[in-house]
A and B are shown apart, each in its own frame.
Chain A
Amino acid sequence: KAGVTQTPRYLIKTRGQQVTLSCSPISGHRSVSWYQQTPGQGLQFLFEYFSETQRNKGNFPGRFSGRQFSNSRSEMNVSTLELGDSALYLCASSLSPPGPVGLVEQYFGPGTRLTVT
């Protein structure tokens, strides 16, 4: 069974540009979450999608957006990139229907390393 895949794996962008990251969940998984990981800060929750609907959103500015398609694949977009957006962006999928997140097993992809110069 293939794991969570994320594309691209590495990306270098310039301040002010926008970027779109893609995530394909494990087959059969309908819930997809996005996280930003930076050294010293741990993982910060961006948003979660289930059946094409955004269920929850973290405390990030509106420049960060996402969507989920009918096949459960998800994309996140960051507009007007800032230097501080440089990070590893992780996508996680889970099989369970919406429920207490602390009891759900999430499967993470390898991430997309975004560098903003």
Chain B
Amino acid sequence: TQLLEQSPQFLSIQEGENLTVYCNSSSVFSSLQWYRQEPGEGPVLLVTVVTGGEVKKLKRLTFQFGDARKDSSLHITAAQPGDTGLYLCAGARSNYQLIWGAGTKLIIKP
């Protein structure tokens, strides 16, 4: 049972387009993290959101934590080929364990 559902599983768009990926659950999380993983590498932390309704921006990336802390979204504006990668969300349900989504594979074509 996947406790964190990520959608879409795969997305291929042209450079310059905007996109949003989602991370949804029926469970409440105390915090949620987004990571990006490139081929042959481990995940790299992009952001941590803690408060319901919180919005964080990282250059062209905007992260939002749902009001009920059950879901999150990542919006990329004017996508670039360098944004290509596997985007993973991970929610904390306890102090010691993260629950991970299966990821969204994003390809940005030049």
Interface residues of A (CB under 8 A from B): 4, 35, 39-45, 48, 55-56, 58, 90, 92, 99-103, 105-111
Residue pairs across A and B with CB atoms within 8 Å: the count is 68
A102-B4 contact in complex given A4-B42, A56-B97, A108-B42, C-beta closer than 8 Å: no
Residues on the A chain within 8 Å of B102, using CB: 39-42
**Residue B79 at the A interface, CB < 8 A?**
no
A55 to B95, CA, bound (A): 11
A20 to B21, CA, bound (A): 36
Residues on the B chain within 8 Å of A48, using CB: 96
A56-B42 contact in complex given A42-B103, A103-B31, C-beta closer than 8 Å: no
* Shortest Cβ distance from residue A2 to the other chain B in the assembled complex, whole angstroms: 14
Residues on the B chain within 8 Å of A100, using CB: 30-31, 92, 95
Residues on the B chain within 8 Å of A111, using CB: 42
**B100 & A42 in contact (Cβ 8 Å cutoff):** yes
Residue of B40, B43, B92 near A102 (CB, 8 A) is B92
Mask, B40-74, CB within 8 Å of A = 1, is 11111100101000000000000000000000000
Residue of A102, A103, A110 near B42 (CB, 8 A) is A110
A40 to B45, CA, bound (A): 20
**A58 & B97 in contact (Cβ 8 Å cutoff):** yes
* Shortest Cβ distance from residue A51 to the other chain B in the assembled complex, whole angstroms: 15
A95 to B95, CA, bound (A): 16
Residues on the A chain within 8 Å of B41, using CB: 108, 110
New A-B pairs, 9, CB < 8 Å, besides A44-B100, A108-B44, A110-B42: A40-B102, A43-B88, A56-B97, A100-B92, A101-B94, A101-B97, A102-B98, A110-B40, A110-B41
